[in-house]
Amino acid sequence: MNSAVFLNTIRFVLLVLTQVLIFNNLHFLGYINPMVYVIFFYWYPIKGNRALFMVISFLLGFCIDVFSDTLALHSLASLTVAYARPVLMRFCFGVNYEFQNFSFKNTTKVQRITFLGLLIFIHQMVFFSLEILSISHFLLILKKVFTTGIVTLVLCTLFSSLFSPQSE
């Protein structure tokens, strides 16, 4: 238990720093800043307390907001992802997810990437709609969601295979 808390704290700090110091300065093709910290929601233990998970996600988003002066955009996006995660898991992994001995190891790669992709999609959708906050810029929102989302997905897949979690 303690090692899980420790691991997640380290993850939290490292992801905030990676996001604000490296990925917020990437500006790939001029405007794409992938949000790799979304992988936190993928890595977080499945069995954990849901309310605690939501509070932690909110704090994660808030830390990144304070650093990048986009107050409460990342917080709301992260919070929404955390709230929607159980639904997404049921959608991606079926009833298997309800069992006690469920772990990522006995799921297929396609299922995991779908899950990650949906997490990222919801996050980007909330983030960019709120950031731009105008329906007349709908195409701009879609463009940003898809381009940034795809780059984020690629990077997160790489991250998840590089540092595969043993805690689950």
Question: In the complex, which residues of this chain contact other proteins (CB under 8 A)?
Answer: 17, 20-21, 24-25, 27, 30-31, 33, 50-51, 54-55, 58, 61-62, 65-73, 75-76, 79-80, 83, 130-133, 137, 140
Q: Which is nearer to other proteins, 61 or 107 (CB)?
A: 61
Contact status, residue 16 vs residue 132, Cβ threshold 8 Å = no
Decide whether 65 or 156 has the Cβ nearer to other proteins: 65
Min dist CB 127 to other proteins, Å, is 10
Residue nearer to other proteins on the CB measure, 20 or 150:
20
With the C-alpha atoms ordered 56, 70, 64, 67, is the resulting torsion angle positive or negative? negative
* Tokens standing for residue 51: 């309310």
- Mapped onto helix, strand or coil, the DSSP state of residue 108 is coil
CB of 119 to other proteins, least distance (A): 16
Alpha carbons 107 and 30: distance in angstroms, whole number: 37
Whole-angstrom distance, CA of residue 36 vs CA of residue 71 = 18
